[in-house]
């Protein structure tokens, strides 16, 4: 999908447009930005820490000290409530210090934001400082999400190395059982959060608005709010590691969680806050894609990445509140003495398992669907072919969204809950393989009999296809009740979901980052160094988790510190593979940092792609386009002669019957 520039005499600044259209503006009070001019990440951290310390100090004055009462349960509940309030104060204080509440407060005071205030919030002429502020420009937010995702992957990867070190050192105990369990739980939730934001955060925020021809997101201030809520949510999770951690796996099952150390409180505050972040982001992405598409961009002309982001956002918006509710009720039981999950007082542990897994399995598709959509954008560019059956791809996304809500019970086959529901849910779990298979079919169909342009993003497509097939096939086994009775709780399950989440989600995100790197950073990615890192990590991934499949078939349970010598060889091989993954990821990270800092400046459209984000200049200007685009064709018209690129023969050319490029003109 190329672009033809219309006359740019209308490409005036927004301020000039407001003046000419005589748009009424509220009076300007003080300098543009007001209070927010003095806010940044430093003021946010200071405000959050001060708020947390004040709440902890005041709360401790009312907390019954240890030893002054015979009721240790009362004292423990008081400590739980105190730490819950402390972590909540951190989140609220940080958001106040970063400037998140300035807009609503000014509106309530009758001093709504002016155009100049909005320009300041968008980061105009602020240089690199805008990346450390509450900035509303979707490109800044996308970059912030990218950095946060890389940091989370680094933390999760470090914890994974610690896990494999323990399992590989079969002759000794490297960590205590309690710390080992906390490493496993924290690794799991950190990587889940990182995978959820890996594409929807950076690519969804930076690329999708430009891809649909919009100037920004539908709700710019909410966009900034979603990122900084994520930042605030991560801190209690990191702090929980120093407070005993979460020792019951990332699922933190009840009633075990009620007996866990104080670190469980940090986990619960993290999930509650993160769910607000994802909900806000999902509403914003959906609204932007539905209401702000360029003129002429009908639904059959919407790039497939946008469709995938919408599908992922819908699932997140529906199912993430279930996860949030599960942790809010658990926190209430622990800190306020309620009994949602306490059978002795009329509660039910089944309530927790159902609430948790209502998100726990759709979350897999929240990760994999955007990665699949990104790979579809990549494959058409590097095959120079139209997407094989756009409608089948859309049907696959729709089918996954619909069926994802009726598969959660297969995680509870062995619990004894509602055994009569096992076989219907076995059917629904196997049924979701059909729309998921559609996505693989579209990729394979586009590649079939094509002439590939061999670049690193295309190599990522091949790697993900391999991993998807393995993850999909092993998932069918685990959806069957008889097989699951043998495999449940084994390392086979761990290998399977890593092939889906890491093998498809993470490697897909790596391909997406490389592909859109020139547009997001205005620098050319070092594909040589990146390829070394990517293929090293891919090889290590196969060694690690193929060996883990073997350990699972042998009967090795997951989340176990000590195990039989029969599993030694499998664990040694998996540990070696894990360190190879780590080396590969560090090389890939080095390629990102080096390219971002000193890579050659990137042209506007280095891949010769046709979607709209490649038709604007690089670096992308604040308002994305000098004039709003008008779309006249689908985004994948490769192989069709473009009438706008026809040689000038000195004769008049009749208007084309069907345009094959997007046309950028005055709207």
Domain ranges of the chain: 26-135, 136-598
d(CA 234, CA 267): 9
Condensed to tens digits (0 to 9), the pLDDT of residues 14-64 reads 444 444 446 677 777 777 778 889 999 999 999 999 999 999 999 988 765
At 5, is the secondary structure helix, strand, or coil?
Answer: strand
SS3 content of the chain, % helix, strand, coil (to 5): 70, 0, 30
- Lowest mean per-residue pLDDT among 77-86, 353-362, 531-540, 604-613: 77-86
d(CA 136, CA 119): 9
**pLDDT given at position 88:** 96
Condensed to tens digits (0 to 9), the pLDDT of residues 65-88 reads 543 444 555 567 788 899 999 999
Condensed to tens digits (0 to 9), the pLDDT of residues 563-576 reads 888 899 999 999 99
**pLDDT given at position 261:** 87
Contacts with 512 (C-beta within 8 Å, 6 or more apart), sequence order: 199, 203, 371, 374, 375, 378, 457
Which DSSP string corresponds to 271-286? HHHHHHHHHHHHHHHH
**Average pLDDT over the chain, rounded to whole?**
88
d(CA 360, CA 429): 13
d(CA 303, CA 306): 6
Average pLDDT score over residue span 106-115 = 84
Q: Is 66 exposed, middle or buried (0-12, 13-18, 19+ CB in 10 A)?
A: exposed
Average pLDDT score over residue span 509-525 = 96
DSSP annotation of 662? E
Q: How many CA atoms lie within 13 A of 322 on its CB side?
A: 21
Average pLDDT score over residue span 164-177 = 87
Phi, psi (deg, nearest 5) at residue 631? -95, 135
Is residue 632 a contact partner of residue 657, using CB atoms and an 8 Å limit?
no
Top-confidence residue, 260 or 329: 329
Average pLDDT score over residue span 282-305 = 95
Contacts with 48 (C-beta within 8 Å, 6 or more apart), sequence order: 89, 90, 91, 93, 94, 95, 97, 232, 235
As a residue count, the chain comes to 667
Is residue 539 a contact partner of residue 520, using CB atoms and an 8 Å limit?
no
d(CA 498, CA 485): 20
pLDDT at 658 over 60: no
pLDDT at 649 over 70: no
Average pLDDT score over residue span 460-466 = 96
Structure tokens at 27: 């009076």
Average pLDDT score over residue span 599-625 = 94
Closest CA to 355 of 384, 333, 377: 333
d(CA 152, CA 585): 13
Tell me the pLDDT band of 101, cut-offs 50, 70 and 90: very high
Structure tokens at 238: 């990191």
pLDDT at 297 over 80: yes
**pLDDT given at position 5:** 43
Kindly report the CATH class assigned to 136-598: mainly alpha
Predicted TM-score (pTM) of the model is 0.91
d(CA 380, CA 461): 11
Would you give the end-to-end CA distance of the chain in angstroms? 19
**pLDDT given at position 642:** 55
């Amino acid at each position: 999908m190329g672009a033809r520039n219309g006359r740019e005499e209308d490409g005036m600044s927004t301020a000039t447009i407001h003046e000419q259209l005589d748009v009424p503006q509220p009076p300007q009070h003080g300098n543009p930005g007001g209070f927010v001019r003095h806010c940044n990440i430093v003021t946010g951290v200071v405000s959050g820490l001060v708020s947390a310390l004040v709440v902890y100090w005041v709360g401790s004055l009312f907390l019954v000290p240890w030893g002054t009462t015979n009721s240790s349960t009362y004292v423990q509940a008081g400590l739980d409530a105190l730490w819950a309030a402390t972590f909540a104060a951190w989140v609220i204080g940080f958001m106040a210090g970063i400037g998140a509440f300035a807009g609503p407060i000014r509106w309530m005071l009758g001093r709504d934001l002016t155009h100049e205030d909005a320009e300041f919030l968008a980061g105009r002429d602020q240089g690199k400082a805008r990346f450390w502020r509450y900035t509303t420009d979707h490109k800044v937010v996308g970059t912030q999400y990218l950095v946060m995702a890389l940091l989370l992957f680094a933390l999760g990867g470090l914890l994974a190395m610690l896990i494999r070190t323990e399992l590989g050192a079969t002759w000794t105990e490297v960590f205590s059982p309690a710390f080992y369990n906390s490493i496993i739980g924290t690794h799991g939730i950190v990587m889940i959060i990182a995978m959820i934001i890996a594409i929807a955060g950076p690519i969804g925020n930076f690329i999708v608005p430009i891809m649909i021809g919009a100037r920004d997101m539908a709700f710019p201030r909410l966009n900034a709010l979603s990122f900084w809520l994520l930042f605030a949510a991560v801190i209690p999770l990191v702090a929980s590691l120093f407070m005993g951690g979460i020792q019951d796996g990332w699922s933190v099952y009840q009633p075990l969680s009620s007996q866990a150390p104080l670190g469980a409180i940090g986990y619960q505050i993290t999930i509650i806050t993160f769910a607000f972040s994802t909900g806000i982001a999902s509403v914003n992405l959906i609204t932007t894609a539905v209401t702000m598409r360029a003129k002429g961009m009908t639904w059959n002309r919407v790039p497939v990445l946008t469709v995938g982001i919408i599908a992922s956002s819908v699932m997140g918006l529906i199912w993430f509140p279930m996860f949030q509710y599960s942790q809010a009720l658990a926190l209430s039981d622990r800190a306020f003495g309620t009994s949602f999950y306490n059978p002795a007082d009329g509660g039910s542990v089944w309530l927790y398992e159902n609430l948790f897994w209502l998100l726990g399995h759709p979350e897999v598709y929240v990760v994999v669907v955007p990665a699949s959509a990104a790979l579809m954008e990549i494959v058409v560019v590097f095959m120079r072919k139209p997407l094989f059956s756009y409608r089948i791809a859309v049907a696959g996304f729709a089918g996954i969204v619909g069926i994802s809500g009726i598969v959660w019970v297969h995680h509870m086959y062995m619990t004894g809950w509602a055994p009569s529901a096992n076989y219907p849910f076995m059917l629904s779990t196997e049924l979701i393989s059909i729309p998921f298979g559609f996505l693989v079919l579209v990729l394979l169909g586009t590649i079939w009999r094509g002439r590939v342009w061999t670049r690193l993003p295309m190599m990522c497509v091949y790697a993900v296809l391999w991993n998807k097939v393995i993850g999909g096939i092993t998932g069918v086994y685990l959806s069957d009740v008889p097989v699951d009775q043998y495999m449940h709780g084994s390392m086979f399950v761990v290998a399977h979901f890593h092939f889906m989440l890491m093998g498809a989600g993470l490697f897909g995100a790596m391909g997406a980052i490389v592909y859109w790197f020139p547009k997001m950073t205005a620098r050319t990615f070092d594909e040589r160094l990146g390829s070394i890192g990517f293929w090293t990590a891919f090889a290590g991934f196969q060694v690690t988790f193929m060996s883990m499949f073997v350990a699972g078939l042998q009967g090795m349970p997951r989340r176990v510190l000590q195990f039989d010598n029969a599993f030694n060889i499998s664990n040694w091989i998996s540990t070696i593979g894990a360190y190879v993954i780590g080396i590969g990821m560090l090389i890939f990270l080095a390629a990102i940092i080096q390219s971002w800092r000193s890579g050659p400046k990137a042209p506007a459209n280095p891949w010769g792609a046709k979607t709209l984000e490649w038709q604007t200049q690089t670096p992308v200007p604040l308002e994305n386009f000098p004039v709003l685009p008008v779309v006249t064709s689908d985004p994948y018209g490769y192989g069709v002669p473009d009438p706008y690129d026809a040689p000038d023969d000195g004769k008049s050319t009749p208007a084309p019957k069907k345009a094959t490029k997007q046309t950028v003109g005055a709207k």
